[in-house]
Each structure stands twice: as C-alpha cells, then as structure tokens.
Structure 1
Amino acid sequence: MATRAPFSGLTDIVRGDGELARRVALAREDRADEEHGKPRFYRMWAELDILAEPARRMVRRLDIPRSENPKTVLVLPGFAAHPRKLRYLAQQIERAGHDTKRWGQGRNWGPTPERIAQLEERLLEVHERAEEPVVLLGWSLGGIYARELASRHPDAVSKVITMGSPFSGSPRANNVWRAYQFITGHQVDCPPIETDVSAKPPVETVALWSPNDGMIAPRCAAGLPGERDRAVAMRCTHVGFTYAPEVIHAVLAELERA
C-alpha cells in the first residue's frame, strides 16, 4: 500500500485529485465485524466529563509524595492531541521530583516513517542527556509509539507505561478508527511502518486501562499475558487518563518501581 503524508490541514484533503473521496471511502469501510468489544456509543458521552475538570482543579488538591527514585519521563500524546493535553499530568509528575520531557512534534496526526525516525532521535537525545534509561509514558496512540520505541531501543528505556492504548486485539475495536483512517489516509491495521503492536517490548511494560473507557475497547488496552508485564485497572474515561487523580497516583507508583 502506498505511503501517504499525514493530515496537515484542509488543503491536504481537498486538493482536487480525489484525495477527499479516497479518505471518505476509508472512513466508510464496512468492517463492523472487526469492532467486537468496542465501547457502546453512549459511553462516549461520559468523555464530556472533561468539561467539569477545570472547576474541579480549582478546589482539588492532590497529595503528591516526593519521589525517592526520580526519573526522566518522555511523554507521548494520543491521536490528534497536542502535548498541552498532557501538561497537567506532567506537572503532577514533576511535583514528585521527576523530570518530564515533551515529544517535540506538536499535535499527533498519526504514524509515518519520518515521525518514528524523529521520535527515535528524540528518545536517544533525552537518554544521552539523562545519562540513564528513561521512562516512556504514552496516552492512547502515544502508548503504541512508546512500545515501538522501546522495542527499537531497549537500552535507552527503563520502562513503558501505556494509558488506554489499543495494542491488543482488533485495531477496529474502538469508536475512533473511522476518524483515524479519514485523517491519516491509511487503514488502521496497515500503518506506513513495519511493526507488531501487540509484541511486548523487551523492557518492563505496564498497561493502564479502564472499563469506563468510551473510545477504546478495555480488553485492547489491557492486553493479554505475554503482551505486557502487568495490567492495572482504572475507573476513568479515555480522556480522563490525562487528569484523573487515580491515574496520576498510579503513574507515580509505577515510576517508583521503575
């Protein structure tokens, strides 16, 4: 399958050569038989919980214990998300004494060979500066990147923590694969890079997942034995992985164990 450039604005789609029609066809594929286990659509409404989050932060105070084992953490955003989306989570990690690093690529419009190569360079740069293996913390698609980076450079990574990342089962067992295909221009199970997303990286790999996830099938984010070392259940929404107190404390606990 030909490699296409990632979404870079409306001009990339509406450019008069059938690109828009091609992407619409990708979004309308009849593959419902591969969606088994995806969250019921009504669960998507629960993702609107994020609208109340700014008010909660005004009155909420998290008790963040100081780390006895400070780590360098490279944070990877989810699909279509900007690193700012994970800033609150990163701030709480920093309060514990860890050093967080952005991925350095702006909004995440999906995998390309160029993006993965740039991420490899970023990981090796952070690793060299930290003078020790770093922790990769990835939300959703960012967790898929984290697993791939750790597989390619295990000496540079001490641990992988995924949050709601669909690394197991059908890549269409979710409520966002049609939007993903429209935006990226490739089938969700045929990315423009060679990878096996379910293969466990040769470093400790922990999957945070939630039965309340409104976007990703819980089983796909929890994985099977052999695809990760441990799976830890949360009770948040998919977007809630970026701000829920239980997730913050779970991430901090995993960093202490790194």
Structure 2
Amino acid sequence: MESNKIVYTSFSKFAVAMAVSQGASLAQAKKIIINSFERHPFHKEVSKIIKKVTLEKENLNILSNQCISICEDFGPDRDYVTLVLLLEKIYKNEDFQDIEKDTVSNIINNFKEEINRINANIPPPPLYNVLLETRAIAEWTSMFWLYPFIPKHKSEKEKPILLMPPYLGNDNSTRFVRKYLKSVGFKTYKWELGVNMINSKSLPKLIEKLDQIFEKHQEKVSLVGWSGGGIFAKIIANRYPEKVEQLITIGSPVWGVKNMKTPIVATLEFLRGTKLRERNEKFIKELEVIPKVPITCIYTKTDGLIPWKNCMEAETYRDDIKNIEVFGSHCGLGANATVLLTVANALNANLEKEKKPSIIEKVESLFFPKFWEQKGFSKFTNLFFS
C-alpha cells in the first residue's frame, strides 16, 4: 500500500474536487467517492485518506496533472485503470447537476489518454530472462517424477473447467494441469481445436463448446487459459459472464497487447504475415475490458517471452481479482508444480466456503515468491503459529 497511498492521496483530492465542481457539497462528495471504492481491496485505507481531504479554490487540470505525474514517476501499472474507471463512475453519478460537464469530460479523457501513454511503455523481458527460458526443458522433464508428490486437496464438487493452451500449443500443453485438476475432483475439458494460433476465427467454436458444457452441467464453467489461451478465456468471460464461473490466466497478456513489447513479436508477425497492430482491433479492444467474474492471474517476473506486467489484471479494481506470482519460465508454466497448486487453490477458493488452511497448505506457501518477500525470521513462525 506504500506507493498506492501516495497515488490515492493525490487521486482522492482530484476526485473530491471533481465531485464538488459538479454541485456536490464537500461532505456529499466524500461520501459518494468512498462508496465508489466499496469493492476496492484497500477500501478502509482509502476511505481514511478521502475523509482527510480539504479543498480551497482547486483547479481540476492542475490536480489531474499532479496525479498523472505521480503515476508516471512510479511507472506503468495496470492498477491505474482503476482510477480511470472510478472517475468515469463519478462523472456518471445521477446525483450531480449538469455543471461544467463538457469541461469535466475533457479532463477525464485527457487523464485516460495520459494513463494509456504511461502504460504503453512497459519494457520487453530482459535478455537474461529470454536465456532463462531454456530451463523449461528441465521443468517439463522433472514434472514426470515430481507430479506424484504434489499435494492434492479434493474439491467438494465436480465443477466443469475448460482449458485453453498457449500460442503454438495444443491440448498436450495443458496435460499436466488437466491431469492435476481431474485428480482433485474437477471435470476438465480440452479445447480440441488443434494448434492455438490466436486467431479470432477460433472464438465461435470455443463459445459453442462453452455452451455445450454449460448445458451438460447446468452450471457456470470456469475458464483456465495459459498464455495465448488466456486471451481467448478473457474475451469469452467478457462476452458471457452469465455462463462463466471464474477466469484463471497463466502467464497471459491480459491487457496492453497493442503496445506489448516481446522478443517473439518478429516471429509472430512473420508467421501471420501482418503487423500485430494491424490485426483485429475489436479483438484487442475487448481484451482491455475487465470481466465481471472472479479473476486470478498467475505470472512470473522471470518470464522471458511476455512482459510480466502485461500478465496482471487491475487487482485494486475489485476484491475478487487476484494476481499471484510464481517462480519459473514462461514455457515451463504448464509443467510447474506451483502453478498446478495455484490453479486448483484458486478454483476452490472461489467455489467453496472459506476455511482455515491446513498445515500442508501453509507449507505450500514456501514455494511462492510472496512468502520470501517477507522480512525477518518471523515469516517462519507466523506460518505455523499465527
């Protein structure tokens, strides 16, 4: 929350001033904006910040530019889209009068354009990460003997899961994920469309498959997509939230694809015969929208093919959006024990009642970067005695 606190302190003053400019009193403005943060994971902390806001004769353009400047100092971040969406929500509030609507609309549009500019500058994976992709061979080969030792937490119900492979991959790419999910009680389904070329023509067939699974089980279907498969999964979740239980992506570029910098761009463009930016604009635009279903995005900071920031959704937008970091290469994510555990745990967390983690589940946290980011020896004592 450290860097977020600085951003939200600046943003809160900007948002409150905007509400006041639309005819709300200071108290009304604070209440409306606090309510706008209702599903924000830092709701309590942000509410305290908003309550402390004081205004004099504030200039909205100056406040907007100050917030943009802070965001630019921190660098690209998908969470900035939360700020844009909240501003648009405040602007559309029916309680406000039509005062300076055009002016406010222009300020919001400028803010959005500046955020897009900042987020278009995510650097490509460093050469070191690209070279580390060779470890995927070891990850895949080691999984054959490691698999029997991975803990299995049985699911209470046989929920349907549709899995989608990465770019240039097929159903063999998701074999370990499917096998593991099946072993813990889920009903898994292949995508059965051959090699994934990330072609929008595959969408109608995937949607038809979703309909078939939905009708068969008479319940919503969870979508799991690795890399390019996650692109399809997110678009389907956006189009048919009434049929999708939740979305889980594994090393998938879930936003910013149009400006994404990756060492495989040249290869992609050679195989497709067109520039990435010249391809399906509607497809890319749909990918920017956040689905109205629970989301879990799995990523690795040592990804050598996709910038890891493009693999994270706006976790600050809703409390049912999670980003989980794992150790590993991009090409080895399909044979990564931590990924298997994360996918199964995420599915269970969103499908079943909350329960206290077992000792085995606590030990599993040792395999995640988040555990090792904690300082001091207390992280070990807290693991078992908190």
Length-normalised TM-score, structure 2: 0.55
Decide which structure has greater helix share: 2
Q: Secondary structure at the match of 2:143?
A: helix
Could you tell me which residue of structure 1 aligns to residue 296 of structure 2? 206
Could you tell me which residue of structure 2 aligns to residue 218 of structure 1? 308
Could you report, residue by residue, the CA deviation over 1:24-64 in whole angstroms, capped at 9, with x for unpaired residues?
A: xxxxxxxxxx6742111231222222222354234322121
88-97 or 190-199: which moved more?
190-199
Could you tell me which residue of structure 2 aligns to residue 72 of structure 1? 160
Runs of 4+ with deviation above 4 angstroms: none
Could you tell me which residue of structure 2 aligns to residue 238 of structure 1? 330
157-166 or 62-71: which moved more?
62-71
Question: Does structure 2 retain, via aligned residues, the 8 Å contact 1:200–1:226?
Answer: no
Say what the alpha-carbon RMSD is for the aligned residues: 2.0
94-103 or 49-58: which moved more?
49-58
Answering whether residue 142 of structure 2 is matched by residue 56 of structure 1, we say: yes
- 5+ residue gaps in structure 2? 1-119, 351-386
Going from structure 1 to structure 2, the CA distance change for 1:64 and 1:213 (only over 3 Å counts) comes to: same
- 1:107: how far off? 0.4
CA distance in 2, matches of 1:164, 1:139: 6
Could you report, residue by residue, the CA deviation over 1:168-211 in whole angstroms, capped at 9, with x for unpaired residues?
A: 23542222222122222333234336232121111112111110
Percent identity of equivalent pairs: 23
Answering whether residue 104 of structure 2 is matched by residue 104 of structure 1, we say: no
- 1:70: how far off? 3.1
Question: Does structure 2 retain, via aligned residues, the 8 Å contact 1:35–1:170?
Answer: no
Q: Secondary structure at the match of 1:239?
A: coil
Could you tell me which residue of structure 2 aligns to residue 176 of structure 1? 264
Higher relative contact order (CA 8 A, sep 6+): 1
CA distance in 2, matches of 1:92, 1:83: 14
Going from structure 1 to structure 2, the CA distance change for 1:185 and 1:85 (only over 3 Å counts) comes to: same
Question: Does structure 2 retain, via aligned residues, the 8 Å contact 1:173–1:220?
Answer: no
Aligned residues: 224
CA distance in 1, matches of 2:322, 2:136: 27
178-187 or 225-234: which moved more?
225-234
Letter in 2 for 1:59: W
Going from structure 1 to structure 2, the CA distance change for 1:175 and 1:91 (only over 3 Å counts) comes to: same
Going from structure 1 to structure 2, the CA distance change for 1:173 and 1:68 (only over 3 Å counts) comes to: same
CA distance in 2, matches of 1:102, 1:132: 18
Q: Secondary structure at the match of 1:194?
A: helix
Q: Secondary structure at the match of 1:230?
A: strand
Specify which of 24, 28, 40 is matched with residue 126 of structure 2: 40
Could you report, residue by residue, the CA deviation over 1:125-172 in whole angstroms, capped at 9, with x for unpaired residues?
A: 111112110100001111010010111111110000011111223542
- 1:85-234 counterparts in 2 under 5 A? 85-112=173-200, 114-171=201-258, 172-192=260-280, 194-195=282-283, 196=285, 197-224=287-314, 225-226=316-317, 229-234=321-326
Question: Does structure 1 retain, via aligned residues, the 8 Å contact 2:245–2:293?
Answer: yes
